Chains A and B, each alone.
Chain A
Amino acid sequence: MIVLLLSLIISCYFAITNITYIDEQGVSHTGIAAARDLRTEKQKWEGTLDEEALQKVLDEYRKINEEYPIRQGDYTANMLHDSKVQGISEIKDMINIGFCEFRDFNYYRIDSVSKDEVGKLYENRVKSLEKWLGSEDAEGLFDENEKAFLLERYGQLKAPLYYEDYDGWGSVLHYAQTIVMLVMLVSAFLVSGIFSNEFSWKADSIFFSTKYGRDKGTKAKLTAGLIVVTAIYWLFIALYSIIVLGVLGFGGGNVMIQTGFWYWKSFYNITYVQLYVLTISAGYIGTLFCMLLSMLISAKTHTAVVAVTIPFVSLFLPLFLSNFHFLEGVLGLFPDQLLQINEIINLFNLYQIGGKVVGSIPIMMVIYPILCVVLLPIIYYIYHKTEIK
């Protein structure tokens, strides 16, 4: 728990200091006041990012470039430039990525975007995907069904996008996976002994010879495992979210994740709040699944040694297996993926079920809760039928 508390403090610190405000003198600040000042700057650009708004951003950026140009090696001048740009930085990056080739990113692409073409930002997003899918780069990666699916999802994004400062949600998502993984690793130490303690203390014979040892006792152990995982997970996620969002602000939750740079290419058309809910729900399901797997192993092997390694294996085995390209499809559905939804959301992990194309996230969000439910009676049965030889 001390490890978790320390991790919580460190994660909150990084998430909060991730947001930097640069004042008029070019000095950068972090913290509550900095977040508030940056929000004030961004609020000026709040609204629908239609052609007119994008042109205004372009005008503003060019004006800043003229008044505060970037100078190679001049730190103060560059900080002053950034100070002026910070209010439109996300929209600027969106234009940068939107007018690059699909797999490229040019930080200065905005410089060559004309006022006439900037309105084609959303149209260009679909076109660049279409172009890439037809290129040699994407050859063999997707079949026609999948290409059609991706283009359809891109086309379904309601343009123009609405913009509002979403730094709080962005930051909370950025470090959420660190907290989720740490909670899982610490929980493993707590739950892996639940089904093996009796054996390590040689108290198994008495436990299993009592009236309720095999049934209610086993159910109580399962319940204890579920309570420990659930309580720790939600307690730490709630603390982390409240602290980070409390400092950086709850605004921008209804902004589509494609607004800005990070999730521009995602084919999941959802808002920041929805992505947050998805991230923490998937994290919980992934953690729960790994913990149930740990409990199953400890119930079967009667030792916590192997059980405690399950979360580590879940996290690191895919890294090792990723060298085998033929496993790519399966790896996209490994439980570790549930712990890093904010990264997976950008990937084109597609699967076909009965000819219907589905992303990996909806599949995992269905499969893993079912697996968790299936694991419960299996653990119960294995422990209930334990023989003391």
Chain B
Amino acid sequence: MELQMVNVTRKFGEFCAVDDLNLTITNGVYGLLGVNGAGKTTFMRMICTLLPPTSGQILCDGKDIFQMDGEYRNLLGYLPQEFGFYPDFTVKDYLMYIASLKGIRPMVAGKRVKELLEQVGLTKAANKKMKKLSGGMKRRTGIAQAMLNNPKILILDEPTAGLDPSERVRFRNLISELSEERIVILSTHIVSDIEYIANEIWLMKEGQIVQQGNLDDMIASMQENVYACEVSQADATKMMKQFKVSNMKSERGMVELRIIADRPPIPEACVIEPTLEDVFLYYFGEKGGETE
């Protein structure tokens, strides 16, 4: 299975949400990182045929996905960022409904729903109404519906948003488990999710992929170092204005800073191992997510 984006651009009036994107995607887990408004959701919606590109083509094994129509969507599983549901449906009814929209025969769908409910840990909640589910349970139902047709292309937009830490860990493991033999594209701004499960990471900024590769490639792409140092509260305030600070922790009147810079911020600062969060900050800046 190969998904290809050829010069894909999507504009909304004058605003260019996705700008001349060229990508070749084969089986594996892809993590899409970017600040709000970077074009992640538009990018995913185009892959899901919810939105046609203004120009360019998206090809699945060489065929235009919009021309493939239902044939392509048969390969697709999608969990959108805003996962809406039918409040009065039970979990089971909801999954059966989506199964019918996916063209799964009722007999097969019944078995598949049972399997998936087990896999996402919702067997006991099968007859619970959707409106009575917790945030985590809804998300798990969301992943179950996306997996109903055993998709070759699984698109997950902010799948862990709003989940508590234990649910996030559980969810990440579930995605890893499901990721074999298919394309999984995962969009999030929770960096640690991607760090754990993505084989390849894409950094998206202003509609373009500004950096791509595995975690090591990402770290290697940084032109600056990550420094750790301990300073007073007053110095910390000054340094926050001067440098990109990826973390700060106050302890016993002193502040421990994690700084991305091309030179040591103070002579006592020591170089430490960067993480994907540092990479994110390096590319997008501290206030990257606040532009919207």
Contacts and interface: CB of A to CB of B under 8 A. Distances in A.
B86 interface: yes
A207 B102 CA distance: 9
Interface in A256-302: none
Contacts of B102: 210-212
B69 A206 contact: no
Contacts of A209: 48-50, 73, 76, 78
Nearest to B82: A202
Nearest to A210: B101
Interface in A173-209: 197-198, 201-209
Nearest to B75: A211
A215 interface: yes
Interface string B166-184: 0000000000000000000
Contacts of B85: 201, 203
Given A210-B98, A211-B74, A205 B82 contact: yes
A210 B101 CA distance: 6
B149 A203 contact: no
B5 to A, nearest CB: 17
A205 B45 contact: yes
B101 A211 contact: yes
A155 interface: no
A223 to B, nearest CB: 14
Nearest to B77: A209
Interface in B73-103: 73-74, 76, 78, 80, 82-87, 98, 100-103
A206 B52 CA distance: 16
Contacts of A212: 70, 100-103
A220 to B, nearest CB: 9
Nearest 4 A/B pairs, CB to CB: A202-B84, A205-B80, A203-B84, A210-B101
Interface of B: 12, 45, 48-52, 69-70, 73-74, 76, 78, 80, 82-87, 98, 100-103, 145, 149
Given A209-B48, A211-B103, A214-B69, 4 more contacts: A211-B73, A212-B103, A213-B101, A387-B50
14 contacts: A201-B85, A201-B86, A201-B87, A203-B85, A206-B145, A210-B73, A211-B103, A213-B73, A214-B70, A217-B101, A387-B52, A388-B50, A389-B45, A389-B51
